Structure 1
Amino acid sequence: MSVANRPVHRPLSPHLQVYRPQLTSVLSILHRATGIALSVGALYLVAWVVFASADPGTYAKFQAFNASILGRLVLGGWLFCLWYHLCNGIRHLFWDAGYGFELKEAYMSGWIVVAVSAVATLASWIVGLSLA
């Protein structure tokens, strides 16, 4: 077999075993994951409406789950996904306009997205508890 026809054994595309995770790649993966979580959360909200339209006993069971530790973790996680996906979507709009491509700017905007998402999640959770 000639050298030109010899098969080359190398990865077809970059993968996690080759590259160290960087902030930009982690945030990109998180953006996709939060989009999926928001879709599942939308189904959860539909279930909430369905249980609310059912008899009071069924709705009380659903609300009891929401008030449990696991239910609060689910709702708090979904709330963070909502804020993160929104903030990172705004970051992508700036990129679409041609701003923030320098490595330093990309890292700074990434940390801003994470910080604003965390603060907004906590603030809306506190406001929600004070209204309840």
Structure 2
Amino acid sequence: MSPHLQVWRWHVTMLTSILHRVTGVGLYAGALMVAVWAVALASGPDAYAMVMGLLGSPLGRLVMLGMTLSVFYHLGNGVRHLIWDLGHGLDLPSANASAYGVFGFTLAATAAAWIIAYMTGALA
């Protein structure tokens, strides 16, 4: 049995592991949202307009921002794990640096995606 969480001192690689699992669960919810969107699209203009109205609301945009963060975090941390599987970056300084790199990638990629969406009129 692993000791209780209060025994461990929090560190960045511990946080990345927990967030990887949380974002994975969140992506399941995102898949359900995509399924609802697809069913609404197939159901006709009224159903589609309702779903798009929900997604375009402030709460819907906040959820979509969270989904965007989840996708890019999970992607970045997944690549990090693939690199580890090749036997690289397993020492503590490299693991910590790659953890911060994943956070940086997540924020930069999310910002870029939302800026592009805004500039192309997808968020209008």
Give the structure-1-normalised TM-score: 0.87
Q: CA deviation at 1:18?
A: 1.3
Q: Which runs of 5+ in 1 are unaligned?
A: 1-11
Alignment equivalent of 1:99, drawn from 63, 80, 88 = 88
- AA aligned to 1:112 is G
Runs (4 or more) in structure 1 with deviation over 6 Å come to none
- Name the Cα RMSD after superposition: 1.0
> 2:25 & 2:2 partners in 1: Cα distance?
24
Q: Which runs of 5+ in 2 are unaligned?
A: none
Larger Rg over CA atoms = 1
Q: CA deviation at 1:88?
A: 0.5
Q: How many residues align?
A: 121
- AA aligned to 1:124 is A
Q: Could you say which residue in structure 2 is the equivalent of 1:125? A: 114
- AA aligned to 2:39 is V
- AA aligned to 2:91 is E
Q: Could you say which residue in structure 1 is the equivalent of 2:66? A: 77
Percent identical among aligned pairs is 44
2:105 pairs with 1:116: yes
Q: Could you say which residue in structure 2 is the equivalent of 1:60? A: 49
Give the structure-2-normalised TM-score: 0.93
Alignment equivalent of 1:86, drawn from 55, 72, 75 = 75
